């Protein structure tokens, strides 16, 4: 069986990790998947997306302009590449699949090993937090990889023309088990927001949205599901959100519940899913809301426009416009028929375009076809 080694350096379960794990499960009859993961991800979180696959722990260091981080980056990159190359040779790995563009370990492995096939999965837009290094990463990937996968056409546009084959494969869901449509409540009351607590993810915009709605007299509650990681950036952002909630007197209307493994249940218990991220290459949250048939309001910030058919399966609002988001939710509160349309059309849209079995065949073609491998 052909062996694929997936490199994912997320410190917790992200949409990218969840998506690639779904593809791994869908293709498990044809490929043996192994994983290279960060030391910082917990065993419980790890088991949530790699199942019983073989895995290896690494200490990945992200590229940074900070002198201390930069000094540590190159030596660790070299040692990780040597370790990965040893694993590749000892386990007869055919394909190294790096699960985002900012991890240069695949580029470093290419310097040591000309035989292994390297696939880079690009899951960020130029407007993301790595924007200043985007071109730097792409240039090196283009010189090292055998193929590039983009998770949306928005990403493909940012990646541009490349030397190596570049294709779009949408992140996907499993539709084997039928999902009953939710029962709509008379009132739209409980709003769900899923996302780890980081700047740019739109939590601040969501709080401003709820503040406007409650000022207009609507009895709306906001539930944040997501992790505050151990970085100062994340903790400082959480402190800022707490101050916003206190200043707006929303303490009883907004709650943070942390990481939840069963996001499907969280979504189905909500009256509406809100996503006001400022930059999304795709958005698993939007896709999962559509699959569940729960009304969705999302910012038009890249990937969501390829998931949501505006005003048919969900409502897209201009990026960073919390007033438009509040207006959309207020309209949905009044218009039950529109909510019912989203409930019906959302699952149809999700199943027709984002089925993991169908899109998994595209990934299979990258492994077997685009790489012109002699497996």
The 3-class secondary structure across 131-175, one letter per residue, is HHHHHHHHHHHHHHCCEEEECCHHHHHHHCCCCCCEEECCCCECC
Tokens standing for residue 211: 């503040």
Q: DSSP label at 216?
A: T
**What whole-number distance in Å separates Cα of residue 319 and Cα of residue 255?**
24
Burial of 347 (0-12, 13-18, 19+ CB in 10 A): buried
Where in the chain do CATH 3.40.50.2000 domains reside? 2-172+355-370, 190-353
> What does the pLDDT average to over 340-366?
96
**What whole-number distance in Å separates Cα of residue 326 and Cα of residue 324?**
5
Architecture of domain 190-353: 3-Layer(aba) Sandwich (3.40)
Was domain 2-172+355-370 assigned CATH 3.40.50.2000?
yes
Confidence of residue 131 (pLDDT cuts 50, 70, 90): confident
Angle at 207 between CA 303 and CA 288, to 5 degrees: 35
**What b/e readout covers 110-144, taking b as 16+ CB neighbours within 10 angstroms?**
beebeebbbbbbbbbbbbbebeebbeebbebbbeb
3-class DSSP assignment, residue 203: helix
Q: What is the pTM of this model?
A: 0.93
pLDDT tens column, 72-128 = 888 999 999 999 999 999 999 999 999 999 999 999 999 999 999 999 999 999 998
Looking at 44-48, 85-89, 143-147, 367-371, which range is the least confident one? Answer: 367-371
């Amino acid at each position: 069986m052909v062996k694929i080694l997936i490199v994912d350096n997320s410190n917790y379960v992200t949409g990218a990790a969840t998506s690639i794990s779904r593809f791994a499960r869908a293709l498990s009859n044809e490929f043996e998947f192994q994983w290279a993961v960060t030391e910082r991800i917990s065993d419980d979180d790890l088991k949530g997306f790699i199942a019983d696959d073989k895995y290896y722990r690494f200490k990945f260091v992200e590229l940074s302009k900070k002198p201390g981080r930069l000094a540590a980056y190159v030596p660790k990159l070299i040692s990780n590449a040597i370790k990965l190359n040893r694993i590749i040779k000892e386990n007869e790995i055919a394909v190294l699949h790096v699960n985002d563009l900012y991890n240069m370990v695949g580029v470093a492995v290419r310097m040591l090993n000309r035989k292994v096939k390297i696939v880079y999965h690009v899951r960020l837009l130029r407007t993301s937090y790595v924007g200043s290094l985007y071109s730097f990463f792409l240039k090196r990937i283009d010189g090292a990889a055998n193929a590039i996968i983009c998770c949306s056409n928005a990403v493909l546009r940012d990646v541009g023309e490349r030397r190596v084959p570049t294709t779009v494969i949408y992140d996907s869901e499993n539709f084997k088990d039928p999902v009953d449509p939710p029962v709509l409540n008379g009132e739209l009351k409980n709003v769900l927001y899923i996302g780890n607590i980081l700047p740019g993810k739109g939590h601040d915009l969501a709080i401003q949205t709820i503040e406007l709605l409650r000022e207009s007299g609507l009895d709306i509650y906001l539930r944040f599901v997501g992790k505050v990681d151990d970085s100062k950036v994340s903790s400082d952002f959480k402190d800022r959100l707490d101050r916003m909630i206190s200043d707006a007197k929303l303490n009883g209307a907004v709650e943070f519940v942390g990481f939840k493994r069963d996001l499907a249940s969280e979504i189905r218990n909500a009256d509406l899913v809100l996503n006001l991220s400022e930059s999304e290459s795709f958005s698993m949250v939007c896709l999962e809301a559509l699959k569940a048939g729960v009304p969705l309001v999302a910012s038009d910030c890249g990937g969501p426009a390829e998931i949501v058919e505006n005003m048919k399966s969900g409502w897209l609002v201009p990026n960073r416009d919390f007033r438009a988001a509040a207006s959309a939710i207020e309209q949905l509160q009044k218009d039950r028929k529109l909510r019912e349309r989203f409930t019906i059309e959302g699952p149809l849209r999700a199943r027709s375009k984002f089925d993991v079995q169908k899109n998994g065949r595209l990934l299979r073609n990258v492994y077997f076809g685009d790489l012109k491998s002699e497996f």
